[in-house]
Structure 1
Amino acid sequence: MNYFTADTHFFHKDLLGMSDFAPRPFDSVEEMNQRIIDSWNDRVAPTDTVYHLGDIALYFTHPASKSNEAVGEVLSQLNGHLELIKGNHDSRALFKYLAANNPIDHGRTKYAFHDVGALIKYDHRQYYLTHYPMMMGIVKQIINLHGHIHHYAVPVKENINVGVDTPEQKYLDEKLPFGTPFSAAEIEQMIAGKFAEFKDRQ
C-alpha cells in the first residue's frame, strides 16, 4: 500500500508546545520522535511505500555529520520504503548520507530521492507530490498533495496538506494518532470533504 506524510520535523525542539502553526504537545523531542515512530509503524507494513513530502528533521550538531547519523537512526526504525521529496529544511548532506547508507529492505532500497517532486496516478486521478503547495489553476483530476504549511490549509480545493500537523484531517471520519501517514483512501476522503465544503460556499 501507499501512504503519504510530510513535516515530521524530527528533533525540532522549537516546535514543542501548543501554537497555531504546529501544535505539538510533547515535553521533549525524544517523546515526539517516538510518538511518530510508533504511529507510523502501527499502520505501515515493511513492504508498504510511504511518500514523505519534505522536512524530515531539523537538527544541528557539531560536527554536522552527527545530526545526519541521528536522523538516519530514526528513519531506520520506520517501516516501509520511503520516497523522500526534498523540503526546505532537508539538506543535500542528509540525502547524500542516506543514499550512502541505503539498505536493501524486502528486495529494494530503503530510500528513494526526489529533489522537486513526484507524480503518481491513483484511481483515475493524478497526484502531484511536492513539499511546497502548488498553484495549478483550473485542472481536472489533478490534486496537489503537499506539506510545508503545517496547521494551515491552502484555500484551493485541489490542494491537500498531508503533513502531520494538517488541519485537513477534519474531513476524515476519525482523527488519527499524531504522526500516522495517510492512506490513499483517506486522501480521497479528504479531497471529497474539501470539494464538498467549497461547493457549499458557492
Structure 2
Amino acid sequence: MQYFTSDTHFFHKDLLGMNDFAPRPFANVEEMNQTIIDNWNARVAPTDTVYHLGDIALYFTRPAVKSDEAVAEVLSQLNGHLELIKGNHDSRALFKYLAAHNPVDHGQEKYTFHDVGALIKYDHRQYYMTHYPMMLGIVKQIVNLHGHIHHYAVPVKENINVGVDTPETRYLKEQVPFGTPFSTSEIEEMVTGKAKEFQDKQ
C-alpha cells in the first residue's frame, strides 16, 4: 500500500496550541510526536510505502547532530518505507545523517531521498509530489500533491494539500486521526471532491 503525508513538524514547539496556521492542541512536543507515531502506525504496515512531502521536523540543539539523532529516533518508530521529499525546513545535514544511518527494513533501506519531487502513476492518473504547491497549467490526469501551506488550500482543483494540517480533509467522508497518512483512496476522494466543488461554482 502507498500513503501520503507532509509537514509533520516533529518537535516544533511553536506550533503547539490553538492558532489559525496549524492548530495543534497538545501539551508538549512529546505528546504531539507520540500521537503522530501512534496514528501513523495504526494505519501503515511495515511493508507499506509512505511519501513524506517535506518538513519532517523542526528542532535545533547544540551540537546540531543531537537534533538529527532525535529526529532519526522518531522516524525509526514509524512503520513503512519512507520516500522523503525535501521541504524548506529539512536540512541537508539531516538528510545526510539519515542516509548514513539508513536501516534495512523488510529487505530494503528505510529511507529514499528526493531533493525536489517524485512522480508515480495510480489508476490512469499521475501524482506529482512536491513540498511546495506547483502550478502545472492545464493538464489532464496529473495531480500535484504537496504540503508547505498547512491550513490553506490552493484554489486550483489539480492541487491537493496532503499535510497533517490540511483543510482539504473536508472532502473526505470519514475523517482520519491527526498525523495519519492518507491512502490513495482518500487522495482520490479529495481530488473528486475538490473538482466537484470547482464545477459547482461555475
Instruction: Bin the TM-score by the shorter chain.
Output: over 0.9
For residues 1-202 of structure 1, the aligned pairs below 5 Å read 1-202=1-202
Normalising to structure 1: TM-score of the pair?
Answer: 1.00
Compute the displacement of 1:20 (Å): 1.1
Is the partner of 1:21 in helix, strand or coil? coil
Distance 1:25 1:192 in 2: 30
Compute the displacement of 1:136 (Å): 0.8
Compute the displacement of 1:19 (Å): 1.1
Compute the displacement of 1:191 (Å): 0.3
Distance 2:24 2:155 in 1: 23
- The residue type paired with residue 188 of structure 1 is E
Is the partner of 1:126 in helix, strand or coil? strand
Total equivalences in the alignment: 202
CA displacement 1:98-143 (0-9 Å, x = unmatched): 0000010000000000000000000000110000000011110000
Unaligned runs of 5+ in 1: none
Unaligned runs of 5+ in 2: none
CA displacement 1:39-90 (0-9 Å, x = unmatched): 0000000000000000000000000000000000000000000000000000
- The residue type paired with residue 40 of structure 1 is W
Normalising to structure 2: TM-score of the pair?
Answer: 1.00
Is the partner of 2:145 in helix, strand or coil? strand
Compute the displacement of 1:174 (Å): 1.2
- The residue type paired with residue 160 of structure 1 is I
Distance 1:169 1:157 in 2: 14
Structure 1 segments of 4+ aligned residues over 6 angstroms from their partners = none
- The residue type paired with residue 7 of structure 2 is D
RMSD of equivalent CA atoms: 0.4
- The residue type paired with residue 57 of structure 1 is A
Distance 2:153 2:19 in 1: 15
Is the partner of 2:191 in helix, strand or coil? helix
Distance 2:20 2:108 in 1: 39
